[in-house]
Amino acid sequence: MSKKQPIGTVGLGLMGSSIATCILAAGHPVISLVRTMEHAEAARHRILGYLEELMQEGLLQEDPAMVLKRHVITDDVSLLKGHEVVIESIIENVAEKKAVYAKLESVLSPTAVIGSNTSAIPVSILQDGMQYPERMLGIHWAEPAHITRFMEVICGNRSDLSYAQIILTLAESWGKEPSLLKKDIRGFITNRIMYAMLREAFHLVEKGYATVEDVDRSLRNDLGYWITFAGPFRFMDLTGIPAYLTVMKDLFPDLDNSTAAPALMQRVVGDGALGVSNAKGFYPYTPESAEEWEKSFIEFSYDIRKLALKYSKKI
Ligand SMILES: NC(=O)c1ccc[n+]([C@@H]2O[C@H](COP(=O)([O-])OP(=O)(O)OC[C@H]3O[C@@H](n4cnc5c(N)ncnc54)[C@H](O)[C@@H]3O)[C@@H](O)[C@H]2O)c1
């Protein structure tokens, strides 16, 4: 494998670990900046597990232990000096993220790209106060980041598009099929659309039209059936456009447009439910069944990736 440019990452939580895995597996040396070295060994172990999984799936040809030799975990920001791309994936907190960018700007060259894996903070807000805001981008991954082909590259008000082009090219070499957001908007593409869907899903449940199980079942078997293949605009092309206009005219005024978070959501979170990670969610779990769901999700992620790749090459 030819020598690839070193990439920096910041944060090795859930997403930071799978992002580092993806970039390591693509052949780059990676330096990951962490706040303290306390959890470094656990992160290394997690990343080794992901790399082994990639090898078993035929997506990695190198020995995972050798790949891991290209990975340095450090709490010393000066090791990132000379890096041209650094991707931050720490907790979703503006002040914490900005403190990280100030540290990065103290060692990076003015033309080094800084990307944030923020889920929904507008990139323009993250650019405020930066010395060189034009090199700041959103680089939005989806979990599990070492498997999915998703990435959104987002320009803030002051981002220079040429930096986004650098990341789009790199992302393709990492096995991604990235989308570009030329203008900043809260929630970007998928989160805006997913949250519009979540609002309506809660509305149907809270108003007693359908159960959680029935909402899930319908979406899995309709939208879930075609969306990896087509996306919403292609799907309208495939199924006949005018009928959608008729439905839009009747249905849009009827859709939920409340701005408060749903009461059911507040209750579930208030009860301490984290989801499968603590076996407490919208569905009942035992620790075993929660683990089984997590395992199945990973297996499914590899399967659907294969299916998506098969059909994306066809036409
Ligand atoms: N979880 C997802 O599915 C998902 C999807 C897309 C985007 N994101 C975004 O990715 C980011 C990380 O999310 P996550 O799910 O990995 O969270 P997480 O809580 O698993 O990990 C956050 C990590 O950041 C570390 N951290 C906090 N402050 C730090 C600092 N100053 N320097 C270095 N490390 C620091 C924490 O120790 C922790 O390990 C967030 O911005 C989140 O919104 C998450």
Q: Residue 1 pLDDT > 50, yes or no?
A: no
Q: What is the CATH number of domain 7-181?
A: 3.40.50.720
Give SS3 for 141.
Answer: strand
CATH fit for domain 194-312, picks 3.40.50.1260, 1.10.540.10, 1.10.10.10, 1.10.1040.10? 1.10.1040.10
Task: Say if ligand 1 is within 6 A of residue 144 CB.
Answer: no
Q: Residue 295 pLDDT > 60, yes or no?
A: yes
Q: Report how far ligand 1's centroid is from the alpha carbon of 46 (Å).
A: 15
**What value does the mean pLDDT of the chain take?**
96
pTM score > 0.85 for this model? yes
Which ligand 1 atom is at minimum distance from the Cα of 96? 31
> 194-312: same fold as 7-181?
no
pLDDT digit string, tens, across residues 73-88? 999 999 999 999 999 9
Tell me the pLDDT band of 245, cut-offs 50, 70 and 90.
Answer: very high
Q: Report how far ligand 1's centroid is from the alpha carbon of 49 (Å).
A: 19
Domain locations in the chain as residue ranges: 7-181, 194-312
Cα(161)–Cα(4) distance, rounded to whole angstroms? 23
- Pairing between β-strand 151-155 and β-strand 71-74 as defined by DSSP bridges: unpaired
CB-count burial class (<10 Å; 0-12, 13-18, 19+) for 179:
middle
State residue 2's pLDDT score: 58
